[in-house]
Amino acid sequence: MTRLLEISGLRAGYRGVTVVRDLDLTVDTGEVVALLGANGAGKSTTLLTVSGLAEQQGGTLAFAGGDLSPLHAAARTRAGIGHVTEDRSLFTKLTVRENLRLGGRGDLSELDNVLALFPALEPLMGRQTGSLSGGEQQMLTLARALMPRPRLLLVDELSLGLAPLIVSSLLEKLRQLANSGIGVLMVEQHVDQALRVADRVMVMARGRVSFKGAAGELRGQRDRLVAAYLGAEGATP
C-alpha cells in the first residue's frame, strides 16, 4: 500500500478557535480508516481541514507526498481528494444527471463506472434530486464525489437519518472502493457498522485521539470503545 494522507500534529478550528489538537493520522491506498467519537469531538473538523474548508492552525498535512497546506479547497479536489459532507450539498432542483455532471466538472467520462457501482441511480437520471428518498440522495452524494476519480475519499456521517439496511449497503460500497485502491477516511456514528468495513479505528474526544486500534481486534469490545468515547482512556495501545 502507498501512503496517501499523512497528518502530523494538526491543530485546526474556526476563526482562531481550536477544535482539533495535536492530531496524528495516516490513510493508505486501499484502506478504510474510521474516525469515531461523540458529537463535538473534532471529527468533522478534521475532514473539513483536509479538504480545505476549515482553518489549519498548526501541524502538517501531506497528500501523496506533497504539502496540502498552500492549496485551496478546489485545488485539493483537483489533486484527488473527494469529500462527502454531512449535509449532502446536493442541488435539489437539478436532475440526478446534472448533479453528477457538476461532480465531474462537466465531464461524464466516469459515469459508466459510477453507475456500475450504483445501478439504482440509472433509472433516476432524469429525476429531480429533491424528489429522491434519503437513501437515494445519499447514494447520489457518494456517486457525485466519485465523478472526478478521487484517490482519497472523505466521508462524513454517511448513515445520517438512514435505515440500518441502507447504511449497511452504502458502507459496503466504501469497502468496495477501498478494495479498488481508493483510500477512505470516514466519520461514522454507527460503531458496529463502521467496525465491519474499516481497517483501523481512531476515537476522538475533546479534539484529541483518545484511542486507536485495528478494527478487527475491536469488534465485540464495546466497553473499551465507550470508555474511549468519553475520553476515559488516555493511552493508545
Q: Which residues have a Cβ under 8 Å from the Cβ of 205 and sit 6 or more positions away?
A: 37, 38, 41, 228, 229, 230, 231
pLDDT for the residue numbered 234: 43
Q: Note whether 122 and 115 are within 8 A (CB).
A: yes
Which of 173, 216, 164, 217 minimizes the C-alpha distance to 193?
Answer: 164
pLDDT at 224: 74
pTM beyond cutoff 0.95? no
Instruction: Report the 10 Å Cβ neighbour count for 120.
Output: 13
Domains contained in the chain, CATH given: 1-80+152-237 (3.40.50.300), 85-149 (no CATH)
Tens of pLDDT along the chain (237 residues)?
Answer: 799 999 999 999 999 999 999 999 999 999 999 999 988 899 999 999 999 999 999 999 999 999 999 999 999 999 999 999 988 889 999 999 999 999 999 999 999 999 999 999 999 999 999 999 999 999 999 999 999 999 999 999 988 888 888 999 999 999 999 999 999 999 998 888 899 999 999 999 889 998 899 998 888 776 777 677 655 444 333
